[in-house]
């Protein structure tokens, strides 16, 4: 809100009216007209102030951040068609490396998976489409390890190589996957407008070739950006479209991701019961398919809801369970999120030493992975505790 403009709009007409009423030569009728006009302008200024305050309050509610990125789900499948990926595995030269890489990924051993996929990438007989697939798979593993720069490098390479593919279908599929993944990196780095541009371009590509899994991925990631921008209606629309497609094609992991995203929206809209219902349904699916990262994410989401409902013990229990899972699979983003969440609980309970300990550990990880918005928030929480201690010592 422009404070000075509002002051001028409200106080200016009154000052002007008072001045003009003292000027000699102005009739009583003219003075009355001047006063009516000035009062009207003044009331318009008051209306403007009230309207802007109401708008700011609404936006503040919509942009309520969540304590950690775990609430903002990102579809684990990165949009590369399975037929495209399997083409890498069907090549006898790469079959062993590919199958071992897939095995490592399933067990959340991403460093091992990277080494296997790099064998495919560096092989002298690797085709251009093999290189696109390998680069995307390597990027996905680096992303799971929260190494965004390395992930971004391989997604960029995949995009570059895809332009050289002669087969139009493969070229567009590779392009769509790479664009969407680059959008995810920009989103995580807080570059939301750029992220939206990449996701929308990827969505256009996948709709053109009618690649449903790619469409779902792009819808979810576009919804994620709208959620960060506080445009919750747009986010919900994209999540529901994605969920509808995943239900149709029977993709359980995708369904779980979208249910979690919709739960995030309901929480932001002040509907904790609906939020809890969706997160618990998502958790049930993740447990069924054995997706540990998804289990940890949803446990964290449920913990947030319990904290909103004034049940810190339940929240802490879920956060600690999520933290244990994320530590086991080496998901640094999840580890930092849960440390941050636990710090919030201890802070609310007045256990400042424990809160500070968890905040500092979370901060160290956020700095390492370059999570700028999280760094700012945790630093603010640490400063608040230090300020509180200084006041108590006086």
pLDDT of residue 75: 32
Nearest partner of 17 among 34, 41, 30, 5, judged by Cα: 34
Domain assignment of residue 74, yes or no: no
Does residue 54 share a domain with residue 126?
A: no
Give the contacts of 273 (CB within 8 A, at least 6 positions apart). none
Nearest partner of 303 among 330, 279, 336, 278, judged by Cα: 279
Query: Final residue of a domain: which of 243, 271, 297?
Result: 243
Tokens, residue 251: 């993709």
Does residue 233 share a domain with residue 136?
A: yes
Do 348 and 312 contact (CB within 8 A), yes or no? yes
Distance CA 218, CA 3 (A): 40
Does residue 220 share a domain with residue 90?
A: yes
Alpha-carbon dihedral 50, 52, 58, 60, rounded to 10 degrees? -120
Domain assignment of residue 43, yes or no: yes
Does residue 133 share a domain with residue 54?
A: no
Does residue 100 share a domain with residue 234?
A: yes
Does residue 181 share a domain with residue 102?
A: yes
First to last CA, the chain: 37
pLDDT of residue 51: 63
What is the chain's pLDDT, residue by residue, as a tens digit (394 residues)? Answer: 445 555 555 555 555 556 555 555 556 666 666 666 666 666 676 666 666 655 444 433 333 333 333 333 333 334 455 545 555 556 677 778 888 888 888 777 889 999 999 988 888 888 888 888 889 999 989 988 878 899 999 999 999 999 998 888 888 888 988 999 999 999 888 899 999 999 999 999 999 989 888 899 899 999 989 988 989 999 999 999 999 999 999 999 899 999 999 999 999 999 999 999 999 999 999 999 999 999 999 999 999 999 999 999 999 999 999 999 999 988 888 999 999 999 999 999 999 999 999 999 999 998 988 777 789 999 999 999 999 888 887 6
pLDDT of residue 13: 59
Does residue 230 share a domain with residue 93?
A: yes
pLDDT of residue 23: 55
Rounded to 10°, the helix 128-144/168-188 angle is: 20
CA distances from 211 to 203, 214, 249, 378 (A): 10, 5, 12, 40
pTM given for the model: 0.65
Domain assignment of residue 268, yes or no: no
Domain assignment of residue 129, yes or no: yes
Query: Final residue of a domain: which of 243, 271, 292?
Result: 243
Does residue 15 share a domain with residue 118?
A: no
Do 233 and 245 contact (CB within 8 A), yes or no? no
Distance CA 183, CA 10 (A): 45
The tally of domains found in the chain comes to 2
Cβ neighbourhood burial of 311 (10 Å; 0-12, 13-18, 19+): middle
CATH code assigned at 213: 1.25.40.10
Query: Final residue of a domain: which of 243, 268, 296?
Result: 243
Tokens, residue 163: 């332009």
Neighbours of 191 (CB within 10 A): 16
Distance CA 30, CA 15 (A): 17
Domain assignment of residue 55, yes or no: yes
CA distances from 75 to 78, 156, 324 (A): 7, 19, 22
Q: What is the chain's length?
A: 394
Domain assignment of residue 93, yes or no: yes
Does residue 44 share a domain with residue 184?
A: no
pLDDT of residue 252: 93
pLDDT of residue 48: 66
CA distances from 80 to 77, 123, 155, 219, 299 (A): 8, 21, 11, 14, 28
pLDDT of residue 61: 37
Domain assignment of residue 16, yes or no: yes
pLDDT of residue 104: 86
Domain carrying residue 47: 3-62
Q: Give the rounded distance of the alpha carbon of 256 from its chain centre.
A: 16
CA distances from 156 to 139, 148, 169, 194, 289 (A): 9, 12, 19, 15, 31
Does residue 201 share a domain with residue 86?
A: yes
Do 132 and 165 contact (CB within 8 A), yes or no? yes
With DSSP H G I counted as helix, E B as strand and the rest as coil, what are the percentages for the chain, rounded to 5? 80, 0, 20
Domain assignment of residue 340, yes or no: no
pLDDT of residue 71: 37
Does residue 177 share a domain with residue 47?
A: no
Do 63 and 230 contact (CB within 8 A), yes or no? yes
pLDDT of residue 110: 86
Does residue 147 share a domain with residue 39?
A: no
């Amino acid at each position: 809100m422009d404070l000075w403009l509002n002051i001028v709009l409200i106080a200016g007409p009154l000052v002007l009216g008072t001045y003009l009423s003292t000027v000699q030569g102005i009739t009583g009728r003219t003075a009355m007209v001047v006063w009516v006009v000035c009062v009207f302008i003044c009331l318009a200024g008051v209306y403007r102030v009230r309207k802007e305050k109401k708008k700011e309050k609404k936006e503040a509610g919509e942009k309520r951040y969540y304590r950690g990125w775990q609430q903002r789900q990102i579809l684990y499948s990165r949009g590369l068609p399975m037929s495209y990926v399997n083409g890498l595995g069907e090549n006898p030269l790469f079959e062993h490396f590919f199958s071992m890489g897939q095995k490592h990924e399933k067990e959340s051993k991403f460093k091992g998976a990277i080494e296997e996929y790099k064998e495919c990438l560096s092989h002298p007989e690797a085709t251009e489409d093999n290189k696109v697939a390998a680069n995307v798979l390597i990027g996905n593993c680096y992303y799971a390890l929260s190494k965004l720069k390395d992930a971004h490098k391989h997604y960029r390479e995949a995009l570059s190589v895809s332009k050289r593919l002669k087969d139009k279908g493969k070229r567009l599929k590779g392009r769509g996957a790479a664009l969407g993944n680059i959008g995810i990196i920009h989103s995580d780095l807080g570059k939301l407008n750029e992220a939206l541009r990449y996701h929308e371009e990827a969505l256009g590509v996948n709709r053109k070739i009618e690649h449903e899994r790619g469409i779902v991925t792009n819808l979810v990631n576009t919804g994620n950006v709208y959620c960060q921008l506080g445009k919750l209606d747009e986010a919900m629309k994209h999540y529901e479209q994605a969920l509808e497609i995943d239900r149709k094609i029977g993709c359980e992991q995708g369904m779980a991701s979208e249910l979690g995203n919709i739960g995030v929206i309901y929480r932001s809209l002040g509907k904790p019961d609906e939020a809890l219902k969706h997160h618990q349904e998502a958790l049930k699916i993740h447990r069924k398919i054995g997706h540990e990262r998804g289990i940890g994410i949803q446990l964290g989401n449920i913990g947030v809801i319990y904290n909103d409902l004034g049940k810190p013990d339940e929240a802490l229990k879920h956060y600690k369970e999520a933290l244990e899972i994320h530590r086991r699979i080496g998901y640094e983003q999840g580890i930092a999120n849960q440390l941050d969440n636990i710090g919030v609980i201890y802070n609310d309970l007045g256990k400042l030493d424990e809160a500070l300990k968890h905040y500092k550990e979370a901060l160290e990880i956020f700095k390492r992975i370059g999570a700028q918005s999280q760094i700012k928030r945790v630093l603010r929480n640490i400063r608040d505790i230090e300020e509180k201690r200084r006041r108590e010592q006086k």
